Amino acid sequence: MENLLGLLRIHVKRGVNLAIRDISSSDPYVVVHSGKQKLKTRVVKHSVNPEWNDDLTLSVTDPNLPIKLTVYDYDLFSADDKMGEAEFHIGPFLEAIKFCHQLGPGLPSGTIIRKIEPSRKNCLSEESHIVLNQGKIVQNMFLRLQHVECGEVELQLEWIDVPGARGI
């Protein structure tokens, strides 16, 4: 990929209060889309509060493309049921990384680089922090699922520089 900027590791932590799509529970998994890339977590059986703790890694070539997340209920004998969706943009995260690179080393671990407030323009359910954590810049976020009666997904983003990539 000649236009590669770097890699975005999305740590899909957990779902909270997801919709019930089977008789008394669901078998949820998450699908992440960006451009032509599609990645998914494992299925967690019989849970509306699943703990995935799965790492999904996207190649980033266009920082303006939204990252789309859809939660599904796995069904063995019929089409999987949609349990909601959300999307987010990585622009603010990449800006925070550039800012940190300009400051250089020396910031203590735990430093909050930027705060992003929930708004009608994003799917955040609470304030999201971009933080320097043990030499890595990460963003923690809770996304409120849309087009469904309830549910949130907790993620953590981490940027991975790739030698020879264009960089951000």
User: 124 and 118 in contact (C-beta within 8 Å)?
Assistant: yes
Q: Could you report the per-residue pLDDT of 26-84, keeping only the tens digit for each?
A: 999 999 999 999 999 999 999 999 999 999 999 999 999 999 999 999 998 999 999 99
pLDDT of res. 66: 94
Distance of alpha carbon 17 from alpha carbon 30, whole angstroms? 14
pLDDT of res. 135: 81
Q: Could you report the per-residue pLDDT of 17-26, keeping only the tens digit for each?
A: 999 988 889 9
- Average model confidence (pLDDT) for the chain? 92
Distance of alpha carbon 6 from alpha carbon 156, whole angstroms? 16
Specify whether domain 6-160 bears CATH 2.60.40.150.
Answer: yes
- Residue in 118, 131, 6, 127 with CA at minimum distance from that of residue 59: 6
pLDDT of res. 24: 87
pLDDT of res. 23: 85
Q: Could you report the per-residue pLDDT of 127-151, keeping only the tens digit for each?
A: 999 998 888 889 999 999 999 999 9
User: Is 103 a residue whose pLDDT tops 90?
Assistant: no
Tokens of 89: 């943009």
Indicate the pTM of the whole model.
0.92
pLDDT of res. 1: 52
Distance of alpha carbon 125 from alpha carbon 118, whole angstroms? 6
User: Is 106 a residue whose pLDDT tops 80?
Assistant: no
Q: What does the pLDDT average to over 158-166?
A: 84
- Residue in 162, 163, 157, 165 with CA at minimum distance from that of residue 67: 157
Place of tokens 């995260």: 93
- Residue in 62, 79, 87 with CA at minimum distance from that of residue 21: 79
